[in-house]
């Protein structure tokens, strides 16, 4: 069941104490919705992934200069695209499973864009028209397999490698991200990534134009906008939190498969 989360989120991604969830009938991306006369406190509900992409999650690599540098890569001349299967999507507090095929599992905290309508060849100046909202992603990556396979499919495609949530923020002005929104990743409470969307090499309209010049985007498709510097390993038992100011905090624990 879908719901509307009310209330504000602070600069550290924490919702206010009076946050409630109002239940919805329908599906916001496909059939329209109706507010129901049912309301729950946030702590009393279990949140699922706020969207299950019908067709694809499009990842963008090396979209922050400092992250490209830490990986030893040159800056891309145009956005570097890859796909994650929709079966990699899980929700807040769902486990990230550590596959037996890797010895180097990494977190990548990212701003995610949720597409709201079918579109192709979107000009950058019309990109905001096709955005349903914004959420938070952890672009989980088996770093050793990414290097050995060359193709990213296995390294980024395992089940549970795309936590999304905790919800979709639908009321943000895209200019906010150009001005700069703080994005942080904590592992067991220690800060590992502390970046700003002001450092995106290719901004969100450019990414939507680029991706949609290659493939049709459908409602519920998700674009991951890249990760700031500070990527690193996760171990079984670790708790990973990705926070984006004004959106929220996405928390997942790593579990043995």
63 near Mg ion, judged by CB under 5 A: no
Length of the chain: 257
Residue whose token pair is 């939190």? 241
Tokens of 72: 């030893």
Strands 222-224, 190-196: pairing is unpaired
- 148 close to 206: Cβ distance less than 8 angstroms: no
- 22 close to 127: Cβ distance less than 8 angstroms: no
Site string for Mg ion, 221-240 (x = CB under 5 A): ------x-------------
139 near Mg ion, judged by CB under 5 A: yes
Strands 248-256, 239-244: pairing is antiparallel
Complex with Mg ion: residue 170 or 206, whichever CB lies closer = 206
Q: How far is the CB of 8 from Mg ion (least distance, A)?
A: 28
Complex with Mg ion: residue 15 or 197, whichever CB lies closer = 197
Site string for Mg ion, 167-196 (x = CB under 5 A): ------------------------------
Exposure class string for 113-125: b at 16+ Cβ within 10 A, else e: bbbbeebeebeee
Complex with Mg ion: residue 3 or 102, whichever CB lies closer = 102
Sole window of 7-15, 42-50, 132-140, 234-242 interacting with Mg ion (rule: CB under 5 A): 132-140
Q: Is the dihedral of CA 171, 27, 43, 141 positive or negative?
A: negative
Site string for Mg ion, 20-59 (x = CB under 5 A): ----------------------------------------
Complex with Mg ion: residue 27 or 199, whichever CB lies closer = 199
Neighbours of 136 (CB within 10 A): 29
Can you tell me which of 94, 108, 169, 221 binds Mg ion, judged by CB under 5 A?
A: 108
Binding stretches for Mg ion (CB under 5 A): 108, 139, 227
């Amino acid at each position: 069941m879908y719901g509307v989360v009310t209330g504000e989120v602070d600069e550290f991604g924490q919702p206010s104490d009076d946050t409630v969830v109002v239940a919805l009938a329908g599906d916001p991306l496909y059939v329209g919705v109706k507010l129901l006369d049912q309301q729950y406190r946030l702590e009393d509900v279990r949140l699922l992934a706020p969207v299950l992409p019908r067709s694809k999650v499009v990842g963008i690599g090396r979209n922050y200069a400092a992250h490209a540098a830490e990986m030893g890569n040159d800056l891309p001349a145009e956005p570097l695209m890859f796909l994650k299967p929709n079966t990699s999507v899980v929700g807040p507090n769902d486990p990230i499973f550590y596959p037996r095929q890797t010895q180097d599992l990494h977190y990548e905290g990212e701003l995610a864009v949720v597409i709201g309508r079918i579109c192709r060849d979107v000009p950058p100046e019309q990109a905001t028209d096709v955005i349903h909202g914004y959420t938070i992603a952890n672009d989980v990556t088996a770093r050793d397999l990414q290097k050995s396979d060359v193709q990213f499919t296995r390294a980024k495609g395992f089940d549970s490698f795309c936590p999304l949530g905790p919800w979709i923020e639908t009321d943000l002005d895209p200019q906010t991200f150009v001005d700069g929104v703080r994005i942080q990743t904590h592992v067991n409470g220690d800060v590992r990534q502390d970046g700003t969307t002001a450092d995106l090499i290719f901004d969100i309209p450019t990414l939507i134009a680029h991706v949609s010049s290659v493939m049709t985007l459908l409602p519920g498709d998700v674009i991951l906008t890249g990760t700031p510097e500070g990527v690193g390993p996760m171990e079984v038992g670790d708790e990973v939190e990705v926070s984006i100011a004004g959106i929220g905090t996405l928390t997942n624990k790593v579990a043995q498969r």
